[in-house]
Each structure stands twice: as structure tokens, then as C-alpha cells.
A = this chain, B = another copy of it.
Amino acid sequence: MSLATDGADKPTLYKRIRADIEKRILTGEWPPGHRIPFEHELVARYGCSRMTVNKALSELAQADLIERRRRAGSFVRRPQHQSAVLKIADIRAEITALGRAYGYELISRKLRAATAADRERLGVRKAGKVIAISCRHSADNVPFAVEDRLIDLASVPSAATADFSREPPGSWLLHHVPWTEAEHTISAIVADDRTAEALDIAVGAPCLVIDRYTWRSARTITAVRLLYPGESHRLVARFKGG
């Protein structure tokens, strides 16, 4: 509309308060340990009610930028240097985001009674059926990652009839299983014969490994190992805090 000159649209007051404080912390004007103004002081400065500044400060506390202590005040926290947001995108999304052509290929799919090794890997005790899947993702027809997955059929019965020859199991699960929790473990190995062939790299070349273990309400859903060529693939995590 008419006011195209500068700062976009009008942010709400509590967002402006939050941004003001965040800026002073991030520029170092208010270093770690610094006591930021009391709520009543901010109320006076911005001419608003206490609930408004409280909302701003609560969000900063939730983001771990400040620490709030009763009776004492609110203080700039020391950066933690420890929690980063690591984007582990769906492989198809990752590849298409790079502007490359996504390719998928099912290598093997076996439905079997869970072996001792399967139960160990899934972290379940009871016997039951599992699906073991091996597949490959490629970008512009170059191998991008190989996937080795185990799905617990007791938790996801409908996986028995899913067609994994066209849809990657990761996408299928994402659309057929609601909210889950997961644990990722990242490590490095060197390619053995089988891996080297699947990824079209040399035996002994480095590989990045992501092991993901997924569950819902304490029930195991799936365990997957992803192998990437180590020198060409990178995981990027960007974050605030040292």
C-alpha cells in the first residue's frame, strides 16, 4: 500500500519488544549475565500492560536467550554451544530442492518373522513379523544414498500391503504414521564391497552414516540406516548460541 518505504508491515508490540531485546543480546550490547530491565520498567518504556512485556520475555526464555529468576529479574544467558537444529530432510525433498532429478530404486523387500538380530535392532522383545527393505536414492542418476530399513509390522500392519517399488518407505511412513519420536545417530565408516557397489564409489571410500530409530508412544515403528558418500554429502546445521 502507501507505506512501501521501509520496514515491511507493522509488527505487533510484543514482537517489537522481543526483537529489541534479542538484538541487544545478539550484538553483545547486553552480554551474558546482564540483567535486562524489569517487567515494570519495560511497561513504562513501551507504555503497555505487563502481560504484553511478559509475553515477549516468556518467548525469549523459551528460546533460552534469557533466564528468568523470581525476585531477582531476567538475565541474559550464556550461549550453550550445544544444541543445534539439524535439518534432516526427506531425501526426495532434499534432492529436488537442489534442482536435481530424484530417482528411487527398490533393491529388495522381504517379509519375514523377526530374527533375533531384527528384534535387537528394533529394540522389541516379542516375536513378530517385520519387513526388511533395501533401496537406493539417486540424484540425476548418480547414487545419492542407500537405505536399509526394518519396519515392525506389529506397529504398522498396513505396511505389509504397501507398494514400496514406487514409493520410498520413508515417504510412505511419513504419510501413514502420525507423530513419532526419533533418535538419530551419525557416524562414519568406510565402504565395504556391497556398499561401494551400491553407491558406485571405491571400496574404502568414506561414508556418512545416519541411523534413525523411530517410535511412537514407546512402540517401535522402524529402524533405518542411511549411507551417503562421505565426501560429497554434507549435513548442515545452523543455529544460535555459540
- A87 to chain B: which residues have CB within 8 Å? 82-84
Contact with A90, one of B81, B179, B217 (Cβ below 8 angstroms): B81
Tell whether A214 is near chain B: CB-to-CB under 8 Å.
yes
Establish whether residues A28 and B82, one from each chain, have CB atoms under 8 Å apart when the complex forms.
Answer: no
Chain A positions 81-117 with a Cβ under 8 Å from a chain B Cβ: 81-90, 93
Q: Identify A185's interface contact among B184, B204, B234, CB under 8 A.
A: B234
Question: Which listed residue, B28, B214, B216, B217, touches A216 by the CB 8 Å rule?
Answer: B28
B186 engages A26 (CB within 8 Å): no
The complex is assembled from copies of this chain, and their number is 2
Alpha-carbon gap, A170 to B206, bound state (A): 27
Chain A 51-65 residues near chain B, CB threshold 8 A: 51, 59, 62, 65
Chain A interface mostly: mixed
A170-B80 Cα distance, complex, nearest whole Å: 12
Contacts of A189 in B (CB 8 A): 188, 206, 230-231
> With the chains together, A6 CA to B180 CA distance in Å?
27
Is A161 part of the contact surface with B, judged by Cβ < 8 Å?
Answer: no
26 cross-chain CB contacts under 8 A: A28-B217, A59-B62, A83-B86, A84-B182, A86-B86, A88-B237, A177-B242, A179-B240, A180-B242, A182-B240, A184-B235, A184-B236, A185-B234, A185-B236, A186-B234, A187-B208, A188-B206, A188-B208, A188-B228, A188-B231, A189-B206, A190-B205, A206-B206, A206-B207, A206-B230, A214-B242
In the complex, given contacts A86-B86, A179-B241, what are 12 additional A-B residue pairs having Cβ atoms less than 8 angstroms apart? A26-B181, A28-B217, A59-B62, A76-B178, A76-B179, A84-B88, A173-B242, A180-B240, A182-B238, A184-B236, A188-B209, A206-B206
